[in-house]
Amino acid sequence: MQIETVSEAAIDRVQALDNVPCGILGEKEIATASDRAGAPCPVSGTVEDERRSGVHRWAKTKLMRARRKILLPGRKLGRRGLTLALNLIFPPLCVSCRARVSEAHSLCASCWSRVSFIEGSLCASCGTPFEVDPGDETICGACHARPRNFDRAWALLRYDDASKPLILAFKHGDRLDHAPAFARWLERTGRPLLNDAEILVPVPLHRWRLWRRRYNQAAVLAERLAQACGRPHEPLALERRRPTKSQGEMPSAKARRRNVLGAFRVPKGKIGAVKGRNVLIVDDVFTTGATLDACARALKRAGARRVDALALARVVRPLASDI
Protein backbone atom coordinates (compact mmCIF):
# COMPACT_ATOMS: atom_id res chain seq x y z
CA MET A 1 0.00 0.00 0.00
CA GLN A 2 2.80 2.36 0.94
CA ILE A 3 4.58 1.58 -2.31
CA GLU A 4 1.40 2.44 -4.21
CA THR A 5 1.11 5.80 -2.37
CA VAL A 6 4.73 6.68 -3.17
CA SER A 7 4.23 5.75 -6.84
CA GLU A 8 1.09 7.86 -7.10
CA ALA A 9 2.93 10.82 -5.59
CA ALA A 10 5.74 10.39 -8.08
CA ILE A 11 3.25 10.24 -11.00
CA ASP A 12 1.58 13.45 -9.73
CA ARG A 13 4.99 15.19 -9.67
CA VAL A 14 5.80 14.06 -13.20
CA GLN A 15 2.38 15.22 -14.41
CA ALA A 16 2.94 18.59 -12.76
CA LEU A 17 6.33 18.91 -14.49
CA ASP A 18 4.63 18.32 -17.86
CA ASN A 19 2.96 21.71 -17.40
CA VAL A 20 6.13 23.71 -16.90
CA PRO A 21 6.48 24.93 -20.52
CA CYS A 22 2.99 26.45 -20.31
CA GLY A 23 3.44 28.25 -17.03
CA ILE A 24 7.05 29.27 -16.90
CA LEU A 25 6.90 32.41 -19.10
CA GLY A 26 4.47 34.34 -16.92
CA GLU A 27 4.98 32.51 -13.63
CA LYS A 28 1.61 30.84 -14.13
CA GLU A 29 -0.03 28.47 -11.74
CA ILE A 30 0.60 24.79 -12.39
CA ALA A 31 -2.60 23.10 -13.42
CA THR A 32 -3.82 20.17 -11.41
CA ALA A 33 -4.36 16.79 -12.98
CA SER A 34 -8.13 17.35 -13.11
CA ASP A 35 -7.70 20.75 -14.83
CA ARG A 36 -5.48 19.23 -17.48
CA ALA A 37 -7.90 16.58 -18.62
CA GLY A 38 -8.78 17.86 -22.10
CA ALA A 39 -8.33 21.51 -21.09
CA PRO A 40 -6.12 23.87 -23.07
CA CYS A 41 -2.96 25.27 -21.51
CA PRO A 42 -3.98 28.02 -19.04
CA VAL A 43 -3.10 31.53 -20.24
CA SER A 44 -2.94 34.31 -17.67
CA GLY A 45 -0.45 36.97 -16.55
CA THR A 46 0.13 40.60 -17.43
CA VAL A 47 0.79 42.28 -20.82
CA GLU A 48 4.22 43.30 -19.45
CA ASP A 49 5.09 39.60 -18.94
CA GLU A 50 4.13 38.80 -22.54
CA ARG A 51 6.18 41.74 -23.87
CA ARG A 52 9.22 40.71 -21.82
CA SER A 53 8.98 37.11 -23.02
CA GLY A 54 8.61 38.31 -26.65
CA VAL A 55 11.77 40.44 -26.37
CA HIS A 56 13.55 37.51 -24.74
CA ARG A 57 12.59 35.16 -27.60
CA TRP A 58 13.59 37.75 -30.24
CA ALA A 59 17.02 38.27 -28.62
CA LYS A 60 17.52 34.51 -28.27
CA THR A 61 16.72 33.92 -31.98
CA LYS A 62 19.11 36.71 -33.02
CA LEU A 63 21.87 35.24 -30.86
CA MET A 64 21.32 31.73 -32.25
CA ARG A 65 21.48 33.04 -35.85
CA ALA A 66 24.67 34.99 -35.16
CA ARG A 67 26.22 31.92 -33.51
CA ARG A 68 25.32 29.77 -36.51
CA LYS A 69 26.82 32.32 -38.93
CA ILE A 70 30.09 32.33 -37.00
CA LEU A 71 30.39 28.62 -36.20
CA LEU A 72 29.14 26.84 -39.34
CA PRO A 73 31.70 28.20 -41.83
CA GLY A 74 34.36 27.51 -39.21
CA ARG A 75 33.22 23.91 -38.89
CA LYS A 76 33.12 23.47 -42.68
CA LEU A 77 36.60 24.92 -43.02
CA GLY A 78 37.79 22.68 -40.19
CA ARG A 79 36.40 19.60 -41.89
CA ARG A 80 37.91 20.61 -45.23
CA GLY A 81 41.26 21.26 -43.57
CA LEU A 82 41.14 17.87 -41.84
CA THR A 83 40.36 16.13 -45.16
CA LEU A 84 43.26 17.94 -46.86
CA ALA A 85 45.63 16.98 -44.04
CA LEU A 86 44.50 13.33 -44.16
CA ASN A 87 44.92 13.31 -47.96
CA LEU A 88 48.50 14.52 -47.53
CA ILE A 89 49.32 11.81 -44.97
CA PHE A 90 47.29 9.03 -46.66
CA PRO A 91 46.92 10.03 -50.32
CA PRO A 92 43.78 8.56 -51.98
CA LEU A 93 44.58 5.59 -54.21
CA CYS A 94 42.85 4.07 -57.22
CA VAL A 95 40.62 1.23 -55.96
CA SER A 96 42.00 -1.04 -58.69
CA CYS A 97 45.73 -0.40 -59.32
CA ARG A 98 46.60 1.72 -56.22
CA ALA A 99 47.89 4.65 -58.31
CA ARG A 100 47.37 8.09 -56.78
CA VAL A 101 44.03 9.76 -57.53
CA SER A 102 42.52 13.09 -56.53
CA GLU A 103 39.38 11.68 -54.91
CA ALA A 104 39.11 8.77 -52.48
CA HIS A 105 37.20 5.63 -53.56
CA SER A 106 37.61 6.23 -57.29
CA LEU A 107 39.44 4.78 -60.31
CA CYS A 108 42.43 6.38 -62.01
CA ALA A 109 42.01 7.51 -65.62
CA SER A 110 43.78 4.44 -66.96
CA CYS A 111 41.59 1.92 -65.05
CA TRP A 112 38.48 3.97 -65.82
CA SER A 113 39.19 3.69 -69.55
CA ARG A 114 39.54 -0.11 -69.30
CA VAL A 115 36.29 -0.97 -67.45
CA SER A 116 33.18 -1.23 -69.62
CA PHE A 117 30.00 0.19 -68.25
CA ILE A 118 26.82 -1.39 -69.60
CA GLU A 119 24.84 1.20 -71.50
CA GLY A 120 22.82 1.72 -74.63
CA SER A 121 19.85 -0.37 -75.63
CA LEU A 122 19.04 -3.19 -73.17
CA CYS A 123 16.57 -6.08 -72.84
CA ALA A 124 13.64 -4.60 -70.90
CA SER A 125 13.62 -7.67 -68.65
CA CYS A 126 17.14 -9.00 -68.02
CA GLY A 127 19.20 -5.97 -69.12
CA THR A 128 21.25 -7.82 -71.77
CA PRO A 129 22.76 -5.19 -74.07
CA PHE A 130 21.55 -5.29 -77.67
CA GLU A 131 23.99 -4.61 -80.46
CA VAL A 132 21.32 -2.83 -82.49
CA ASP A 133 18.57 -0.80 -80.85
CA PRO A 134 15.31 -2.73 -81.40
CA GLY A 135 13.20 -0.08 -79.59
CA ASP A 136 11.91 0.40 -76.09
CA GLU A 137 10.42 -2.45 -74.07
CA THR A 138 11.94 -5.13 -76.33
CA ILE A 139 12.98 -8.30 -74.54
CA CYS A 140 15.71 -10.71 -75.59
CA GLY A 141 15.24 -14.25 -76.92
CA ALA A 142 16.17 -15.82 -73.57
CA CYS A 143 13.48 -13.84 -71.74
CA HIS A 144 10.95 -14.72 -74.47
CA ALA A 145 11.77 -18.41 -74.14
CA ARG A 146 11.66 -18.37 -70.34
CA PRO A 147 9.96 -15.34 -68.77
CA ARG A 148 11.77 -14.13 -65.65
CA ASN A 149 10.33 -13.86 -62.18
CA PHE A 150 11.95 -10.46 -61.72
CA ASP A 151 10.53 -7.45 -63.54
CA ARG A 152 13.80 -5.70 -64.50
CA ALA A 153 17.44 -6.50 -63.89
CA TRP A 154 20.25 -4.07 -64.52
CA ALA A 155 23.99 -4.33 -64.08
CA LEU A 156 26.64 -1.66 -63.91
CA LEU A 157 29.75 -3.23 -65.49
CA ARG A 158 30.59 -5.94 -67.98
CA TYR A 159 32.22 -8.81 -66.12
CA ASP A 160 35.48 -8.99 -68.06
CA ASP A 161 39.26 -8.97 -67.56
CA ALA A 162 39.20 -5.33 -66.41
CA SER A 163 36.38 -5.59 -63.85
CA LYS A 164 37.03 -9.18 -62.67
CA PRO A 165 40.01 -8.41 -60.35
CA LEU A 166 38.07 -5.54 -58.76
CA ILE A 167 35.03 -7.68 -58.09
CA LEU A 168 36.91 -10.79 -56.95
CA ALA A 169 38.97 -8.69 -54.51
CA PHE A 170 35.71 -7.30 -53.10
CA LYS A 171 34.04 -10.71 -52.99
CA HIS A 172 36.83 -12.94 -51.70
CA GLY A 173 39.73 -10.66 -50.79
CA ASP A 174 38.28 -8.62 -47.91
CA ARG A 175 38.55 -5.48 -50.06
CA LEU A 176 35.47 -3.90 -48.54
CA ASP A 177 37.01 -0.49 -49.18
CA HIS A 178 35.70 -0.90 -52.76
CA ALA A 179 32.13 -0.71 -51.45
CA PRO A 180 31.78 3.12 -51.34
CA ALA A 181 32.88 3.47 -55.00
CA PHE A 182 30.68 0.58 -56.15
CA ALA A 183 27.66 1.92 -54.27
CA ARG A 184 28.17 5.41 -55.71
CA TRP A 185 28.32 4.07 -59.27
CA LEU A 186 25.35 1.76 -58.70
CA GLU A 187 23.32 4.61 -57.24
CA ARG A 188 23.85 6.70 -60.39
CA THR A 189 23.23 3.86 -62.86
CA GLY A 190 20.31 2.29 -61.04
CA ARG A 191 18.48 5.47 -60.08
CA PRO A 192 15.22 4.57 -61.90
CA LEU A 193 15.16 1.18 -60.11
CA LEU A 194 16.08 2.74 -56.77
CA ASN A 195 13.35 5.38 -57.18
CA ASP A 196 10.74 2.63 -57.57
CA ALA A 197 12.13 0.46 -54.76
CA GLU A 198 10.58 0.43 -51.29
CA ILE A 199 13.11 -1.93 -49.71
CA LEU A 200 16.54 -3.26 -50.66
CA VAL A 201 17.28 -6.95 -50.13
CA PRO A 202 20.69 -8.59 -50.79
CA VAL A 203 21.09 -12.07 -52.25
CA PRO A 204 21.83 -14.10 -49.11
CA LEU A 205 24.68 -16.53 -48.49
CA HIS A 206 24.08 -19.84 -46.77
CA ARG A 207 25.06 -19.56 -43.10
CA TRP A 208 28.06 -21.87 -43.51
CA ARG A 209 29.45 -19.84 -46.39
CA LEU A 210 28.81 -16.63 -44.46
CA TRP A 211 30.68 -18.10 -41.50
CA ARG A 212 33.68 -18.95 -43.72
CA ARG A 213 33.72 -15.67 -45.65
CA ARG A 214 32.77 -13.50 -42.64
CA TYR A 215 30.74 -11.08 -44.72
CA ASN A 216 28.15 -11.09 -47.48
CA GLN A 217 29.41 -8.79 -50.22
CA ALA A 218 25.87 -8.30 -51.59
CA ALA A 219 24.67 -7.17 -48.14
CA VAL A 220 27.61 -4.74 -47.86
CA LEU A 221 26.62 -3.23 -51.23
CA ALA A 222 22.92 -3.16 -50.38
CA GLU A 223 23.61 -1.42 -47.06
CA ARG A 224 25.71 1.29 -48.74
CA LEU A 225 23.12 1.75 -51.48
CA ALA A 226 20.29 1.98 -48.95
CA GLN A 227 22.19 4.74 -47.13
CA ALA A 228 22.78 6.58 -50.41
CA CYS A 229 19.17 6.47 -51.59
CA GLY A 230 17.41 6.62 -48.21
CA ARG A 231 15.53 3.33 -48.58
CA PRO A 232 15.29 0.65 -45.88
CA HIS A 233 17.69 -2.27 -46.08
CA GLU A 234 16.33 -5.72 -45.12
CA PRO A 235 19.37 -8.06 -45.07
CA LEU A 236 17.35 -10.96 -43.61
CA ALA A 237 14.29 -10.73 -45.86
CA LEU A 238 15.63 -13.62 -47.94
CA GLU A 239 17.17 -16.81 -46.60
CA ARG A 240 19.24 -19.41 -48.43
CA ARG A 241 17.66 -22.51 -46.94
CA ARG A 242 20.22 -25.04 -48.24
CA PRO A 243 23.87 -24.77 -49.28
CA THR A 244 24.25 -24.58 -53.06
CA LYS A 245 27.32 -25.21 -55.18
CA SER A 246 29.00 -22.15 -56.63
CA GLN A 247 27.18 -21.08 -59.79
CA GLY A 248 30.62 -20.69 -61.41
CA GLU A 249 31.01 -24.51 -61.29
CA MET A 250 27.79 -25.14 -63.22
CA PRO A 251 28.33 -26.16 -66.84
CA SER A 252 25.14 -24.68 -68.32
CA ALA A 253 22.28 -22.26 -67.72
CA LYS A 254 20.01 -25.24 -67.05
CA ALA A 255 22.39 -26.58 -64.39
CA ARG A 256 22.49 -23.15 -62.76
CA ARG A 257 18.71 -23.02 -62.58
CA ARG A 258 18.60 -26.49 -61.04
CA ASN A 259 21.33 -25.59 -58.55
CA VAL A 260 19.26 -22.78 -56.98
CA LEU A 261 15.79 -24.24 -57.52
CA GLY A 262 13.84 -23.72 -54.28
CA ALA A 263 17.01 -22.59 -52.49
CA PHE A 264 15.55 -19.29 -51.24
CA ARG A 265 12.62 -18.34 -49.10
CA VAL A 266 11.29 -15.39 -47.17
CA PRO A 267 11.28 -16.32 -43.45
CA LYS A 268 7.86 -16.11 -41.79
CA GLY A 269 8.93 -13.16 -39.68
CA LYS A 270 9.87 -11.14 -42.78
CA ILE A 271 6.75 -11.72 -44.91
CA GLY A 272 5.24 -8.47 -43.59
CA ALA A 273 8.33 -6.54 -44.74
CA VAL A 274 7.96 -7.63 -48.39
CA LYS A 275 4.21 -8.18 -48.86
CA GLY A 276 2.69 -5.65 -51.27
CA ARG A 277 5.98 -3.78 -51.66
CA ASN A 278 8.42 -3.03 -54.46
CA VAL A 279 11.62 -4.91 -53.67
CA LEU A 280 15.04 -4.36 -55.18
CA ILE A 281 17.43 -7.32 -54.97
CA VAL A 282 21.12 -6.40 -54.84
CA ASP A 283 23.88 -8.76 -55.99
CA ASP A 284 27.51 -8.62 -57.09
CA VAL A 285 27.61 -10.63 -60.33
CA PHE A 286 24.79 -11.64 -62.66
CA THR A 287 25.66 -14.52 -65.00
CA THR A 288 22.53 -16.13 -66.42
CA GLY A 289 20.24 -14.54 -63.85
CA ALA A 290 19.29 -17.94 -62.34
CA THR A 291 20.07 -16.86 -58.75
CA LEU A 292 18.24 -13.54 -59.09
CA ASP A 293 15.31 -15.36 -60.68
CA ALA A 294 15.09 -17.85 -57.78
CA CYS A 295 15.24 -14.95 -55.27
CA ALA A 296 12.54 -13.03 -57.17
CA ARG A 297 10.35 -16.14 -57.22
CA ALA A 298 10.61 -16.48 -53.43
CA LEU A 299 9.84 -12.78 -52.93
CA LYS A 300 6.81 -12.88 -55.24
CA ARG A 301 5.50 -15.99 -53.50
CA ALA A 302 5.72 -14.02 -50.26
CA GLY A 303 3.54 -11.30 -51.82
CA ALA A 304 6.06 -8.74 -53.16
CA ARG A 305 4.31 -6.48 -55.69
CA ARG A 306 7.31 -5.87 -57.91
CA VAL A 307 10.83 -7.28 -57.87
CA ASP A 308 13.72 -5.58 -59.65
CA ALA A 309 17.40 -6.49 -59.43
CA LEU A 310 20.57 -4.46 -59.53
CA ALA A 311 23.98 -6.10 -59.87
CA LEU A 312 27.49 -4.75 -59.91
CA ALA A 313 28.52 -6.67 -63.03
CA ARG A 314 27.11 -9.12 -65.52
CA VAL A 315 28.51 -11.63 -67.92
CA VAL A 316 27.57 -10.55 -71.40
CA ARG A 317 27.40 -13.56 -73.68
CA PRO A 318 25.90 -14.21 -77.08
CA LEU A 319 22.16 -14.14 -76.42
CA ALA A 320 21.59 -17.76 -77.53
CA SER A 321 23.79 -19.17 -74.73
CA ASP A 322 21.34 -18.06 -72.05
CA ILE A 323 18.53 -20.22 -73.33
> 253-260 and 290-301 helices cross at what angle (nearest 10)?
40
Tell the burial category of 72 from Cβ atoms under 10 Å away from its Cβ (0-12, 13-18, 19+).
exposed
Tell me the longest C-alpha to C-alpha distance in the chain.
88
> In whole angstroms, how close is the CB of 260 to Zn ion at the nearest point?
18
Q: Is 219 in the site for Zn ion (CB under 5 A)?
A: no
Q: Is 106 in the site for Zn ion (CB under 5 A)?
A: no
Contacting range for Zn ion; rule: CB under 5 A; set: 111-119, 177-185, 218-226, 231-239:
111-119
Rounded Cα–Cα distance for residues 11 and 18 (Å): 11
Site string for Zn ion, 42-81 (x = CB under 5 A): ----------------------------------------
Q: Is 97 in the site for Zn ion (CB under 5 A)?
A: yes
Q: Is 183 in the site for Zn ion (CB under 5 A)?
A: no
Q: What's the N-to-C CA distance of the chain in angstroms?
A: 78
> In whole angstroms, how close is the CB of 94 to Zn ion at the nearest point?
3
3-state secondary structure of 122: strand
Q: Is 315 in the site for Zn ion (CB under 5 A)?
A: no
DSSP state of 174: -
The smaller minimum CB distance to Zn ion, of residues 123 and 281, is found at 123
Residue 241 CB neighbour total at 10 angstroms: 14
Contacting range for Zn ion; rule: CB under 5 A; set: 94-102, 130-138, 236-244, 260-268:
94-102
Q: Is 143 in the site for Zn ion (CB under 5 A)?
A: yes
> In whole angstroms, how close is the CB of 239 to Zn ion at the nearest point?
27
Q: Are the C-beta atoms of residues 117 and 163 closer than 8 Å to each other?
A: no
Q: Is 226 in the site for Zn ion (CB under 5 A)?
A: no
Q: Are the C-beta atoms of residues 240 and 264 closer than 8 Å to each other?
A: yes
Positions that interact with Zn ion (CB under 5 A):
94, 96-97, 99, 108, 111, 123, 125-126, 128, 140, 143
